[in-house]
Each structure stands twice: as C-alpha cells, then as structure tokens.
C-alpha cells in the first residue's frame, strides 16, 4: 500500500524520499525519481513531512521512539504522520514525546486495502491536533477520497478499531450464513441474490461472499494483520472498561484459523474455521 500511496504523492508533484526494509519494494518509486534513504533517521533529517506505514505497534514504536528514530531526529516544525493501523495509546505517547521537540504528529490509519491505495480512494481517519490536520489535508487528499478528522491524538486509531470491530462480528455472520446455505442444500449464489440487498447486506457479504463460494481465499486483507488489529482493539477496549463479546469470539476463531495455517489467507478464510467442525 505504501508504494501506491507514495506514487500518488509523486504524481502530484511532491518530492519523495523513501526508506523501506526491503529496498526491492521501492524500485518502482526510485525509477520514477524518488530518493532513497538508508535509514529512517536520514528521512527524518531531510524531510518536512514524514509518512509511515509499517507493520505492528512495536515497529511503530521503534521507528518513532527508538534512539535512531523519527522523533529524536526530525526537524523542528516538521510533521510525522503514521498511517499504520496501530495502538491509540501509542499514538498519544508519540504525540506527547514529539511535542517536546515542536514536532506535530498525526495518527491516520486507512481502510480500503490495496485497491483503495492503488486508486487513491482510501478512507483516512485522522487523529491529532486539528491545525496539523488542516496543514496536511492536501496531502491526504492525494491518497484518499474520504478523509475525516476524528479528534485528538489516538482518535484516528480508535476510529480504525471501530471499523475492525464492525468487520470482525460481521464476518462471522457472513461465513455462518454461507455455511448454513450450503448445509441446507441451497444454491448459495441464489441466496446472496435474495439477501444481499436487504437488511443482511454488507460490504463483506457482497464482496467476499462470492470469493468464498469460488474457494478463493487470497488476501485482500491478511488474517495475521486482522488478528493484530483485533488484539489492539481488545486491549484498548479492556483499558476503557468495555466488554466486546462479539469481538472476543471473532478473535478466538481467527486465532484458531491461524493455528490451522491460514494466517496468510484473506479475512474471509474465517469460513474455513467455521467449516472445520471436526
């Protein structure tokens, strides 16, 4: 996703420096004229706006708060934007630490996946200071069509958690409905025709349902990343004193799915866990 997003910024005329752990992934951008940096620190020292899209919260923490990280080495008055789906609490910690050096930070996770990134149609959920959001709005608009300021630091991440919470239980419903249809001897494609336009309708049912029926479990969005996100959401909900039984059950089923060796499948592979009632 990072590659597509950086490409849109280059197409819009922004000079782009890139760093990634696997340089080969940046080749296309480098051929288009992006400048290579050997370390995050080098990015920090050279850029006014830095956008990160990494893996897990521990990666975010290292890239931002490590001794060789962005916060320690970014220029005063620069902007750091983390578009990784990560911990709201970590986003708040990063903001506090960066503020001491007069550096603005935004947490701005996205939804829309590879396709949304490629087509510059991401939904971008932004937390942090409102003035920093307005300063960066032009940049966000090159990558997404649904850019919404959600409030103080961490609010972008919290909003993404709402997104993942709705998906988690929703996917159970989609997979159980399709399994039921098959067990009952129905034609599941006909069932989708009856139910997808009504109250049972959802993005997952219409977009991933047909892929389940074809036995196509390629990601879209990886099981392993969804588990990461659900872990963040559960921890965050727990810290707020909120019980989320649907999310808890979905997380348990996804953990069992990963144990079945499906962590690199798409999220709709939950069907396989539910079908596996040995």
Binding flag, residue 151, a second copy (CB under 8 A):
yes
The DSSP result for 42-107, as a single string, is HHHHH-SEEEE--SSHHHHHHHHHSTTSHHHHSPTT-EEEE-S---HHHHHHHHHHHHTTT-EEEE
Stretch that binds a second copy, among 8-16, 38-46, 131-139, 152-160 (CB under 8 A): 152-160
- Rounded Cα distance, 100 and 16, in Å: 26
**Minimum separation from the CB atom of position 149 to a second copy (A):** 8
Nearer to a second copy, 10 or 210 (CB): 210
**Minimum separation from the CB atom of position 209 to a second copy (A):** 9
Catalytic residue (one of 160, 183, 193, 272): 160
**Minimum separation from the CB atom of position 172 to a second copy (A):** 3
Q: Are strands 104-107 and 122-128 parallel, antiparallel or unpaired?
A: antiparallel
CA dist list (Å): 221 to 31, 205, 228, 236, 269: 28, 15, 12, 22, 10
Q: Which of residues 97-136 bind a second copy (CB under 8 A)?
A: 111-113, 116, 123, 125
Active site residue 160: yes
Interface residue with a second copy, options 30, 186, 218, 260 (CB under 8 A): 186
CA angle 220, 225, 230 (to 5 degrees): 115
Binding flag, residue 278, a second copy (CB under 8 A):
no
**Minimum separation from the CB atom of position 199 to a second copy (A):** 5
Binding flag, residue 137, a second copy (CB under 8 A):
no
Give the other-Cβ count within 10 Å of 225's Cβ: 17
Nearer to a second copy, 26 or 270 (CB): 270
Residues 6+ apart with CB under 8 A from 224: 258, 263, 264
Binding flag, residue 65, a second copy (CB under 8 A):
no
Contact at 8 Å (CB) between 157 and 88?
Answer: yes
Question: Contact letters (x/-) for a second copy, 200-239, by CB under 8 A?
Answer: xxxxxx-x-------------x-----------x--xx--
Catalytic residues: 160
């Amino acid at each position: 996703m990072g590659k597509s997003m950086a490409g849109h910024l280059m197409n819009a005329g922004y000079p782009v420096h890139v760093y990634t752990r696997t340089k080969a992934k940046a080749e296309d951008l480098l051929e288009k004229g992006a400048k290579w940096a050997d370390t995050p620190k080098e990015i920090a020292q050279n850029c006014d706006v830095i956008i990160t899209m990494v893996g897990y919260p521990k990666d975010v923490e290292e890239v931002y708060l490590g001794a060789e990280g962005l916060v320690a080495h970014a220029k005063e008055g620069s902007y750091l934007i983390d578009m990784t789906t990560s911990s709201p609490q970590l986003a708040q910690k990063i903001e506090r630490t960066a503020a001491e050096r007069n550096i603005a930070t935004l947490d701005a996770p996205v939804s829309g996946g590879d396709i949304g990134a490629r087509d510059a149609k991401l939904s971008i959920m932004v937390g942090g200071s409102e003035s920093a959001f307005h300063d960066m709005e032009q940049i966000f608009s090159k990558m997404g069509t649904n850019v919404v300021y959600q409030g103080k630091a961490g609010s972008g991440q919290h909003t993404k958690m709402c997104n993942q919470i709705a998906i988690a239980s929703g996917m159970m419903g989609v997979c159980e409905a399709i399994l039921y249809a098959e067990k009952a001897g129905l034609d599941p494609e006909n069932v989708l025709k009856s139910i997808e336009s009504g109250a049972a309708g959802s993005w997952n049912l219409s977009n991933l349902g047909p892929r389940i029926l074809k036995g196509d479990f390629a990601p879209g969005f990886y099981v392993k990343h969804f588990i990461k996100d659900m872990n963040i959401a559960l921890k965050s909900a727990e810290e707020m004193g909120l019980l989320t039984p649907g999310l808890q059950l979905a997380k348990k089923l996804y953990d069992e799915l990963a144990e079945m060796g499906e962590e690199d499948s798409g999220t709709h592979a939950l069907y396989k866990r539910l079908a596996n009632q040995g």
